[in-house]
Structure 1
Amino acid sequence: MIKIFHNSRCSKSRLGVQFLENAGKEFEVVKYLEDVPTETELTEIIKLLDISPIELVRTNEAIWKSDYKGKNLSDEQIIKAMVENPKLIERPIIINGDKAVIGRPTEKITEIF
């Protein structure tokens, strides 16, 4: 089953949900701000995305700029920061089995079908 890590306040995330609906795909919505992934889950997602942890961080968020920017953080510390502050996690993340993408632009979602 396809999973989308979704923030309903984000227009790109809403577009991701709409894209999956329009494609006729069954999917599960994970409201990651409420159901925050664990460090282990986030590490697995990063592996599926085949990116480094910093590439999943929304570096323009105020909390990043005030608490983390300019610091020499390990991958583990970056992941911990995202778990403690889930609004730092880029969105939407769409997972289908062993494939995952960040749905920006929305058309990237087709890569996991």
Structure 2
Amino acid sequence: MDVTIWHNPRCSKSRGAMTILDELGVEPQVVRYLDEAPSRAELEDVLRKLGTDDPRAMMRTGEPVYRELALADAGREQLLDALAAHPVLIERPIVITSTRAVVGRPPELVRELLDPES
């Protein structure tokens, strides 16, 4: 199974997700999304795999830039533009397969995504 993780090594939840992937014997493609910001198309794809149309499902609304950009009342398109331009707004970690994705908060959700029997 191909697995990708949008990873921030400074984040304990992201490191926890990496530990779970290792326990499951999964070698993910690691994308340091703060260095390699996802494209608008990638954001749309992940939203679909998360099973939602709402960008806030993968957005860190407590980040200062969220307030600075006045995103509280923003629409979907403006939120996606903000995520693409300011990857610090992307919640972490996000683990992605070919058909599904999960925001790994808590990291145990990664196990449920990849090992539904657990």
The answer, yes or no, to whether TM exceeds 0.5 is yes
- Cα displacement (A) at 1:27: 1.1
Does the aligned pair in 2 maintain the 1:101–1:111 contact within 8 Å? Answer: no
TM-score, normalization by structure 1: 0.92
Q: What residue number does 1:58 align with?
A: 60
What secondary structure is seen at the aligned counterpart in 2 of 1:110? Answer: helix
Give the residue type in structure 2 aligned to 1:30: V
The answer to whether the Cα contact below 8 Å between 2:13 and 2:92 also exists between their aligned partners in 1 is yes
Segments of 4+ moved more than 6 angstroms: none
Aligned-partner Cα distance in 2 for 1:103–1:55: 12
% identical equivalent positions: 38
TM-score normalized by the length of structure 2: 0.89
Matches within 5 A, 1:1-113: 1-51=2-52, 52-70=54-72, 72-113=73-114
CA separation in 2, counterparts of 1:97 and 1:112?
A: 12
Unpaired segments ≥5 residues, structure 2: none
* Helix, strand or coil at the partner of 1:48: helix
Q: Which runs of 5+ in 1 are unaligned?
A: none
Amino acid at match of 2:64: A
Q: Which amino acid aligns with 1:61?
A: E
Higher mean alpha-carbon deviation, 14-23 vs 82-91, is at: 14-23
Q: CA RMSD in A?
A: 1.1
Is the Cα–Cα contact under 8 Å of residues 58 and 89 in structure 1 kept in the other structure? yes
Which secondary structure does the structure 1 equivalent of 2:101 belong to?
Answer: strand
Count of aligned pairs: 112
